[in-house]
Amino acid sequence: MTQIIPFVSEASQDERREWRDALPEALADIAVVKPFDTLTEEERVAARVAIVANPDPAQVAALPNLVWVQSLWAGVERLVTELPADGPLIVRLTDPQMAETMSEAVLAWTLYLHRDMPRYMAQQREGTWKGHTLLLPEERTVGVLGLGKLGSAAAQRLKSNGFRVLGWSRSPKSVDGIDCFHGAEGLTAVLAQTDISVLLMPLTAETHDLIGPSQLAQMKPGAALINFARGPIINETALLKALNEGPVGHAILDVFNEEPLPAGHPFWSHEKVTVLPHISAPTITSTASKIVAENIAHFFADGTIPPSVDRERGY
């Protein structure tokens, strides 16, 4: 019997169009992918796995026999809060290409800060011709907060570029060439030493507002922050204060409490903030579809479900 895989998504029209082409192609030999609103009652009842991207939870609930859902995103904070704890298992997207893309973004923006680009851009606006002391990468310490699939790849890429790299995670970890810290004391130690802190952990109950007034106060004078994780991990009000009054020298923000960043938000025009429109590591449809297809093929072959999110931990 042909297997039907529901595709449940409230993502943008453009994103859905892209997936509606890529998924059926990647899964052609395995199953038929059908958008939720085209499913028959019989197909809804029969579905044991669905592919989701920002789904309406009511539509997921309308698939009563789901065993697991395959997310098309790496961050699953919305699924964790919106799907019932006794609902289907949540499998997030883990794509080696995404780790590559993210580590490239981390290196690019670290180099942007390392080579004083914000300062030279400000000087150009003023018509000022003035060079500043060039530090070597090994004289610059970069802290990577979150040492998972993306953070550990980024940390190693920074290391191979010559930076001194510190890492921080929830549980003790060891990553080749990186000084690793964990727990609350570890965060204090990392923040106190780093010139550039890169956020790459998931948004959970524990990491919400993790970087607030006291953590920002622990940073070195002039230190920079790069947030490629999720907006609510940094307290925006505290960050604005730390940018205006010290110690934070510059913030590169790809993610925000509200996206798109609302018109008139102080970050848009702040001279010490670089605003990016959530582009550090987008899901690449071509590679992600193949991974999704492999996961689903294994499930149909022998019932294997890929590692799923720990609902208690939130990631």
User: Residue 222 or 282: which CB sits closer to ligand NAP?
Assistant: 282
User: Residue 118 or 151: which CB sits closer to ligand NAP?
Assistant: 151
Site for ligand NAP in 226-245 (CB under 6 A): 228-230
Closest chain position to ligand NAP (CB): 148
**How far from 93 is each of 42, 56, 158, CA to CA, in Å?**
28, 18, 24
User: Residue 195 or 254: which CB sits closer to ligand NAP?
Assistant: 254
CB of 305 to ligand NAP, least distance (A): 17
Site for ligand NAP in 168-197 (CB under 6 A): 169-171, 173
Active-site annotation holds for 250:
no
Query: Judged by CB under 6 A, does residue 255 bind ligand NAP?
Result: yes
Contact code string over 261-290 relative to ligand NAP, x by CB under 6 A: -----------------x-xxx--------
Active-site annotation holds for 16:
no
Query: Judged by CB under 6 A, does residue 109 bind ligand NAP?
Result: no
CB of 209 to ligand NAP, least distance (A): 12
User: Residue 47 or 199: which CB sits closer to ligand NAP?
Assistant: 199
Positions annotated as catalytic residues are 230, 278
Chain positions contacting ligand NAP, by CB under 6 A: 74-75, 98, 146-151, 169-171, 173, 200-204, 206-207, 228-230, 254-255, 278, 280-282, 315
